Amino acid sequence: MGRLILLLGGARSGKSTYAEQWAKTNGGNVLFVATAQAFDEEMTTRIDLHRASRPAEWHTLETPQHLARALATQSHAVDTVIVDCMTLWVTNILLSFDDHATEASIHAETETQVTELLGYIAHHPATWLLVTNEVGMGVVPPTRLGRYFRDALGFANQRVASHADEVILLVAGLPWRLK
């Protein structure tokens, strides 16, 4: 079994930078799992900048959902896996439902995909760095969809944190070890 490190914090708190620096220093053969989807020009630009900033020797797997299934198809032997990020992964799960989806159906699918990923991680010898946003420290979202997202991501974060060897909260680029 590998080592699981959960990196969480607010937007622009330094989570991804921390993960990338950790991997550059300790990572060996690195697989970067990107969950973003380009729904508009601005996001396309962001994705392009992220691709260009990663070391050329890193492998990249781009998958918006079903991470465990996608990881099972990649053939690279790796020492470190960065999943960036769980926030967009859960967003993609939520957006796969129609407007009439229930909170229970969204929760069930999120739970299924998180369980699959944790099962995959448990049988893989790499060090895993999972990047996610902490969205439970702000105001209650004013929309049903916003509340479903906050709750689904909060659940996913709690599940991963309970299995993680380390949990690090980043605030203004500074790491606080929680576990």
Of 50, 66, 107, 163, the active-site residue reads 50
Report the C-alpha gap between 27 and 111 in whole angstroms.
29
Report the C-alpha gap between 161 and 155 in whole angstroms.
10
Question: Of 89, 96, 95, which Cα lies nearest the Cα of 36?
Answer: 89
50 is catalytic: yes
The sign of the dihedral angle between the CA atoms of 27, 75, 34, 97 is negative
Q: What are phi and psi of 26, to 5 degrees?
A: -120, -5
Q: Among all residues, which ones are annotated catalytic?
A: 50
